[in-house]
Structure 1
Amino acid sequence: MVAFAPGGGSDRSARVIAQALNELEAGFDVNVENKEGGSGAVGWSTFLSEEGNGNTLLVAETAINTLPKVYDVPFTYRSFTPLVMFAEDSRIVVAPKDSPYRTCAELVEASKNQRVVAGSSGRTGADSLVVHELTEEGASIDVVPYGSTGEVLTALLGGQIAAAPASAASAKPYLESGDFIGLCTMTEKRYDDPLLGTVPTAKEQGLDATVTIWRGVLGAGGIADVQRDYWIARIHEAMNSQTYRDYLAKDLLIPANLSGAEFGAFLDRYDQRMQEIFG
C-alpha cells in the first residue's frame, strides 16, 4: 500500500520495491494499492486495519512522522512495524521558465512584499519541510496542497502556482525541456548530475535550509517476529537487484539500508526532529 496518488515519488518507490520483490520469484505476487487522501491520512488509517497481517506491506516516507504532529489521526509511525529503510531523498525548488525569481533567495525576498503561492504534495510531507525551511529564512509563502508531486508540477505548468518543491527525478524532465528553471536544491551538496549540478544549493545562496527525507517499508502492527524477519530478508534480496540500483541512479537518491530495530531507532530520532519543527 502507498498512501499517495499515482505519479509521485512515494508511488514510484512502491512500484519499484514491488517489482524487485516480484523478480525474486519467491512464491508471492506483490501488487501496489494507492489509498490517497488527507495528505496520507486515508492510506495510513486504512493500513491500521491490517493489524497482525503479515501479508501486507506499507511503503512510506517522512510524512508519516509529521502528519500526526499537525492533525488528529488514529496512528503514528509506532503503529506499524519497521522493516527496511531503503533510500533517502531531498528536494529541488523549481519555477516556470519565465518566473521573475531566478533563485530561492530572490523568492524569499520577494515574498516579504508580495504574495507568493507554492504547491505542495500534501500538507506535512517533504514539500512542507521545504516551505518550513524557507519560512525560517524569512519567506512568507501561501501553500496549495495537491495529492502528488505529479499534480503539483502540472499546476506549475498551468500557471496556477509560482513555485514548487519536487523530487529531483520528477523535476528533471521539465528542466531538460526548458519548461522549468531550478531556483535551488535543498541538498547539502549539489547533485552529481550534469544538469541538476548547475542548480546551486540553498546554502550557497545564503539560506540555512536543507531537507532530507527517508523512504522505507513498514509492516502492519502486531505481526510476528518470524513475519518481520521474513520480509526484511526478502527486501534485502530485492535491494540487490538491478531494478533497485537503477531506481537509485535514475531518481538521484541516496542509498540507505537500515532494518528492524535499527530502522526503528532512526525513526525515533527523526521523530524528535520533526517534533521540534511541527510540535
Structure 2
Amino acid sequence: MSVRPPVPADWTPRGSVPVMVAMAPGGGSDRSARVIAQTLNEQELGFDANVENKEGGSGAVGWATFLSEEGNGNTLLVAETALNTLPLVYEDVPFTYESFTPLVMFAQDSRMVVARKDAPYDTCPELVDEAGRNRVIAGSSGKTGADALVTAELEKAGGRFDIVPYGSTGEVLTGLLGGQIDVAPASAANAKPYLESGDFKALCSLSEERYDDPVLGRVPTAIEQGMNATVIMWRGVFAAGGVADVQRRYWIDKIEQGMRSQTYRDYIKADMLIPANLSGEKFAAYLDDYDAQMREIFR
C-alpha cells in the first residue's frame, strides 16, 4: 500500500479544480455548485474551479464516484439534504455523509405546497383531510430529497398520497399544470411565477417563517395552520474524505470569502434561500443532528 507524502503547510490548489455535483445540469444543486465555483474563480487564486455533473440514482452515482477521491484536496463536492437521506432509503450505497469532509454550509432552503387554482382545498390541513378520504396524486422529484420530506410531513399529519416520480422540480410543476397530478411540493423560486400568473395557488409553506416577499409573504406556514411541520434543506461544500487539515482550512477560508461577494448575495436573493454559514466542526455537528432527524422520518 502506497503512502502519500505529507501535505506542505503552504499547500494551495493548482490547475483545474473539479467541483462535483451529483445532480443533472439546470437544477438547484447544479446552480449552487456553479455559484460556488464562480465565487472561487472571482478571487483569482491561481486555479480554475469547474463544475462536473455526475448525475444518476438520485445522487448515488456522483457521491459514490467522489469516494474515489479519498485524500485528494484538489477537488470539491457541492451537496444537499439527500446526502443524509439517500443512504437511509438505499442502505446498500457505499457512502454516508460521514464519508466526506464537511467544509461550509452556505444556504438553507425550504418548500411550499402548490395546487391548481381550481383545487377543492385551500390550505394544507384541508389537503390532508382530502387525502385521508379520497385519492390525491402528488408529484415528486425524488424519493430522498426535499419533495419526499414534504410528502412525509403531510402523511404524518394523516394524508395518503399516490406519488408520481419526475426528474426535476420543473417537470413536477409541468405535470401539475397539465393535470397529471393534483398537488406538488416546490421551491419558492420555482413556485412564484405560477402564483403570480394565477395558474397555481399555494396551500402552505414548510418554512419556519413566512417568506420576505410581496407574493410569497401572503402564503401562511403549515405551523400557522396548526400543523407541526417544517422542511429545511441544507446546501454545503465538502472536500474528499481524509484530506489534510491545512487543505480543509484553506477551502473553508476561500469559500467563506466567496460568500461575502455580490455573486453569492445575488444568488441567495434570486433563489429565495436562507443564508447560512456553518463551517468545519459546526457544520459536522449540524449534519449529525440533521441525520438523527431524518432517521425519525425515514425509519
- Structure 2 residue 278 is the aligned partner of structure 1 residue 261: no
1:69 aligned partner: 88
Alignment RMSD (CA, Å):
1.4
Q: TM-score, normalization: structure 2?
A: 0.89
Contact 1:186–1:210 (8 Å) recurs in 2: yes
Return the alpha-carbon distance in structure 2 between the equivalents of residues 55 and 96 of structure 1. 47
Return the alpha-carbon distance in structure 1 between the equivalents of residues 133 and 125 of structure 2. 14
2:103 aligned partner: 83
2:5 aligned partner: none
Runs in 1 of length 4+ with deviation above 6 angstroms? none
Aligned residues: 279
1:26 aligned partner: 45
Q: How far apart are residue 144 of structure 1 and its match?
A: 2.1
Q: How far apart are residue 154 of structure 1 and its match?
A: 2.2
Return the alpha-carbon distance in structure 1 between the equivalents of residues 148 and 170 of structure 2. 16
Higher relative contact order (CA 8 A, sep 6+): 1
**Identical aligned residues as a percent:** 74
Return the alpha-carbon distance in structure 2 between the equivalents of residues 119 and 149 of structure 1. 9
2:77 to 31, 36, 58: 58
Q: How far apart are residue 59 of structure 1 and its match?
A: 0.9
Return the alpha-carbon distance in structure 2 between the equivalents of residues 144 and 41 of structure 1. 20
- Structure 2 residue 216 is the aligned partner of structure 1 residue 196: yes
What is the CA deviation profile of residues 109-151 of structure 1, one whole-angstrom value per residue up to 9, with x for unaligned ones?
1111221111122101111111111111001012222232222
What is the CA deviation profile of residues 155-183 of structure 1, one whole-angstrom value per residue up to 9, with x for unaligned ones?
22222221111111121122222222111
Unaligned runs of at least 5 residues, structure 2: 1-19
Unaligned runs of at least 5 residues, structure 1: none
Larger radius of gyration: 2
Give 1:38-57 correspondences, 5 Å limit: 38-57=57-76
Return the alpha-carbon distance in structure 1 between the equivalents of residues 177 and 45 of structure 2. 43
Q: How far apart are residue 227 of structure 1 and its match?
A: 1.5
1:3 aligned partner: 22
* Aligned amino acid, residue 76 of structure 1: T
Return the alpha-carbon distance in structure 2 between the equivalents of residues 169 and 242 of structure 1. 19
- Structure 2 residue 34 is the aligned partner of structure 1 residue 15: yes
Return the alpha-carbon distance in structure 1 between the equivalents of residues 224 and 56 of structure 2. 36
Return the alpha-carbon distance in structure 2 between the equivalents of residues 123 and 273 of structure 1. 17
- Structure 2 residue 261 is the aligned partner of structure 1 residue 227: no
Secondary structure of 1:33's aligned partner: strand
Give 1:176-195 correspondences, 5 Å limit: 176-195=196-215
- Structure 2 residue 120 is the aligned partner of structure 1 residue 105: no
